[in-house]
Amino acid sequence: MKTRRGKKTFCLIFCSVFLGLFVGTVPSLSAAPSNESPVKSGFLYGFCIHLGQEENRAYTGPDTQTKLSRIGAASTRDDLSWDIRAAASLHDMPPSMTKIAYGLKNVDTRPLLILGDDRRFIPEGQPTTDASRKRFAAYATDAAKILKEKNPIFEIWNEWNRGTGNRQERPGSPASYVALVKDVYPAIKSVMPHGLVLGGAVGRKPGTTELDVDWTLKAVRLGLLNYVDGLSVHVYDRCMKPAQGTGVEVLEHVKALHDAVMKVSPGKDVPFYITELGWPGERGVCGGQGEALAADGIAQTLLAAPTLPWLKGVWFYDLIDDGDAPENREHHWGQYRFDGNQKPSGCAARAVWSFIAETGSPHRTKPAPNVTMVTYKTKEGPLRVALWQTDVPVWKKDPPSAPRRVRLPSTARLLPFCGKEPIKEKGSVLLGRTPLLMEIPADALSAVKVE
């Protein structure tokens, strides 16, 4: 989570297709080819929510459960309070954990739980001494014992590189983080030998909008990959111009980090997980893009992310707006407004996941400058295809770009997207930032021509 908010984040993941989720539902959902697994079985996709915050007025247990059910979630993500050590069992938790206890007991999902700070037990914030690391490992062990029946994923800390948990918000060193992970990882594995443990939760380099590559590589050289099952990262490009802040560009930032890690650890198979990613829906300086553009960013990311075989999951920030103050950007990251009504981004996410979840063989190409195309195979034969343009001007000050159109063969079947019909013009279809969805026979793909 973004450290300036200090918000405890509870995330959900889509891993099943559901029907009737958006206006103009994609008809006749097709399964992946019989000789391969569908996207939903190997890729985790989700949203952050805040059941872990007892005081957060946007979230209640039953309402959150309803929203999770509508989305078809298969996993959830949350900061885990140290009060878990006072729990007798999954079904007997302390009053301070009422909301998250409700979620863990009643929502049929696999939780991803962030093991974080608590000043009551580690006054200095980040555990950097032998004694504090021992206390932290005991907390992790207790969490695994109490919750192992839920088969949780554990994430060790959150944005250590940015100083999360420190009183002075001083960046935490790679050496101190690796020392912590060396103690915590075997503690969890002693209880859950086959459990999934993530490390890193690497955020932006302090003072920049870029991922902290240097910090990550130093941690990797110190042995981080020997004590985690995957690396988690947080990537936000909201401070870029809207015309550049696209889903594909976000993934390129993560790919650059992945490539750098592979260079210093050849032969290692390192799964990556984006555990925070998002765009605020309000308009303003430094990345306030508006609800329509936030929807495009989420749609583009979800369509393109499964094409990266080493990327195993994405969690968008977040599910519900935390408030309704127009001037407060931190109130506008949700896919649902504070009053519970769905935003365009919520519809886009549901529509895209329904489009790809049962398919297989994801592949991404660039058929023309500033145009992205992704293809997915189906069991019945036709390809699921999405196309979009990434350089469409948004603000008046943005330089104009040449509009792109695509000519399609007669066998292509265009699909509605959240009630929006494709715009046809002079025998072609207009491209924009909103992905164009279609089904097309595999042998007709070469007839798709971007103009």
pLDDT tens for residues 72-102?
A: 667 778 889 999 999 999 999 999 999 999 9
Where along the chain do the CATH 3.20.20.80 domains lie?
10-359
Please tell me the predicted confidence (pLDDT) of residue 110: 81
> Taken in order 53, 59, 62, 67, is the CA torsion positive or negative?
negative
- 397: CB partners within 8 A, 6+ apart: none
- Which neighbouring-strand residues pair with 414? 438
- 271: CB partners within 8 A, 6+ apart: 229, 230, 231, 310, 311, 312
Burial class (CB in 10 A: 0-12, 13-18, 19+), 234: buried
- The amino acid occupying position 296 is D
In the chain, what are the helix, strand and coil shares in percent, each to the nearest 5? 30, 25, 45
Q: What percent of the chain has pLDDT over 70?
A: 86
Burial class (CB in 10 A: 0-12, 13-18, 19+), 209: middle
Please tell me the predicted confidence (pLDDT) of residue 29: 45
The number of beta carbons lying within 10 Å of the beta carbon of residue 28 is 9
Evaluate if residue 20 carries a pLDDT over 80.
no
Q: Is the bond into 142 cis (omega within 30 degrees of 0)?
A: no
If you ran DSSP here, which 8-state letter would residue 204 be given?
B
Instruction: State residue 441 phi and psi, 5-degree precision.
Output: -60, 145
Spatial distance between the Cα atoms of 286 and 69, rounded to a whole number of angstroms: 34
- The amino acid occupying position 247 is G
CATH architecture of 10-359: Alpha-Beta Barrel (3.20)
Instruction: State residue 220 phi and psi, 5-degree precision.
Output: -65, -45
The 10s digit of each residue's pLDDT in 88-145 is 999 999 999 999 999 899 888 788 999 999 999 999 899 999 999 999 999 999 999 9
| Residue 292, H or E segment | helix 291-304
Please tell me the predicted confidence (pLDDT) of residue 439: 97
Give, in order, the Cα–Cα distances in Å from 341 to each of 57, 225, 289: 15, 42, 19
pTM > 0.85: yes
Spatial distance between the Cα atoms of 286 and 242, rounded to a whole number of angstroms: 9
| Residue 348, H or E segment | helix 344-356
The 10s digit of each residue's pLDDT in 301-328 is 999 999 999 999 999 898 889 999 888 8
Evaluate if residue 22 carries a pLDDT over 50.
no
